[in-house]
Structure 1
Amino acid sequence: MLIKTNMMKKNTFQFIFEQSGVALLLLDQFGTIVFANEKFSRLSGFENAEIQDQKNILDFFGERDQNKIKSYLVNRAFQSDFANGLECFLNRRDGATKDTLLVLNDDSASNQIIATIIDVTAFRKRLTHRLRSQQHKFIANLASGIAHEIRNPLSAINTSVEILADCLSLSSQDEKLMDIILEENKRLAKIMTEFSYFARLKAPEFRLVSLNELIQELFDSYQEKLPANIQFTLNLAEKLPSIYGDHEQLRLFLKQLIDNAIEAMGEGGALTIKSKITTNNLNEKQLVIIIEDTGVGISDRDLPNITRPFYSTKDQKLGMGLTWCERIIENHFGEIKVQSKVDTGTQVKVFFPIMIPSEMI
């Protein structure tokens, strides 16, 4: 009778675990996984048979998180960090990491530990997207105001200097000073134009866009004006699905990246654009555009800042180009990843969702 009762309890326990909407583990006092539900198997990428009685919970986390979990296992005392949830990075079988919330609770009846692991990767991604969108909106409003307030005085300065230059008898030194004023005035006007363009960027008008066709159109348009010392090639996947996007914004976005790559190869080099389908950490299909150049590259110090507003390593540049690019891609629910090495080149990967995000509907 006792064996039958224990078996019923075990079956009931497993049923509750499997019906849960989150990943659950049952651990012994040393952290060995006694039972794992199907949600955890999918989250970690491991089969259930590879987990139960085979792995310790520590096997799924990095050293920083392991030390905190070990402390709990050794002390077995109430710790507010784990009762409220501790942010940990879970290592999947495929090498990817998941941003998770780990909650550990003692089951006093069985002297075991129940681990609840909540995947917050998608939530954090949406939150980051929202914060960046708010930042870009603020900058756009600021840019619009600055451009409006400065453009008229610049025009007045330019006109006044030209009139004075025509009316006055100037020495050669004075003429040089007048030329400096006019040149700097033109530079400021160019900056204001860049400001205005960023501020005027509208919400995308979504419709089906073939990125392969768009890339081919741009490729053809560059053939006559491309420097002779730069080799431009395409490697586009066949039967690439269309995405929902704003055709004109995506064209300007890709043109900006191509222009950046060409500018980085002043001494010549190779520019390649590829397209393919891949799967992200959430097991969602994505379309990827890869733009590679063999230019001067970007230093480790500058790389984290390249999409930051007003950050530029180039003279006479305002530093809004890649900020503007990032804004376009975020409005298309995509993502940009940049890898670069000085004197070797730069690779830009742009990820687009294939399915229609609910915000587009």
Structure 2
Amino acid sequence: MKGGRTQHTFSPPVMEARRWIAGKEFPAERPLINVSQAAPMDPPPEALRAHIAETALTVPEAHLYGPVLGLPALRAELASRWTAKYGGQISSGQVAITSGCNQAFAAAVSAIAAEGDEVILPTPWYFNHKMWLDMQGVTAVALETNAALLPNIETAQSLITDKTRAIALVTPNNPAGVEYPSELVRAFFDLAREHGLKLIVDETYRDFDSRTGAPHPLFADPDWAETLIHLYSFSKAYRLTGHRIGAVITGAPLLAELEKFLDTVTICPNQLAQHAALWGMQNLDGWLAAERLKVLDRRTAIKECFPTLEARGWQLLGLGAYFAYLKHPFELSSLELAQKLVDEAHVLALPGIMFHPAGSNRGETEIRLAFANVNADQIATLFDRLEAYRPIS
């Protein structure tokens, strides 16, 4: 029997990694340290949970279909906050709410690209972006990054063809954690505009950027809406991962095309999630600021612990948001290493091959640590285990 579109891509990496620990038990004195998934594992703060419960009990329309592009109040709040954060002018008519940031990317690509078209992705890339392009018959053109894991404008320009429809950036980056400099993001915007392309900027981890102020100046450009497709996730900010709530900000004409996709796939975003996101933005600024500081403290802990690994030949390639991206010193492949670490060090991490094109030698030596759910003491233990690790042949 012939297969469908899904057979054109690989298995979900996080689900694949979970199979490595299925049925295995780890002793209490040496528990598994899971640094495989970049999502908060704690529930939303109690006040937000109480608001969700109250909404479920007292707002009847929260259980019905809502507007395809999202609640007007939430769209307006996001537009107002982003205008204040980034400068320029953003209207609610340029905002759509989606069922998670992955859906925002899927909707955007569906609106701008057809089978046989191309989208440029810097590597190491976010694997779900690659998977969606595969399933749509859109070619993911790998843009290899430099030693600092930053994409190069000249290299990107050399990859543009008459089939190119967009360049997609993730900053702070998943999987590498790197925060793209403001001037680099602007340069990619100018490159995209020059060639009539869209620039997709996924800022899922924006709330955990180490920098203050606007991370880029794109919204200050009076014609930003003709080129920019901005993606955001409420899930990381307010621990709403299971509620699936994200956003896309772009020109109103393109949103009309996205609306066709969103209406067909989900009809409307989760209503309770939208009320939760709105309440979170209006009431949890202080809480979110404290969460950011926790993430930055973990980032500092990794910097402080890393010299012991460096002495063993490891390299820290990228660090930021939820991620540390490392180069390992062993002869075995990153996939072999990741699988061995489960049984021999009780560490679950993702290998670099999951973030590169098939056959990339670069991915064989890299590994990602997602540290959102490990505290400073656990980070110290993690690095002790990695420092002491020697592969068992």
If the length of structure 1 is used for normalisation, what is the TM-score?
Answer: 0.26
Q: Taking CA–CA contacts closer than 8 Å with sequence separation of 6 or more, which of the two structures ends up with the larger relative contact order?
A: 2
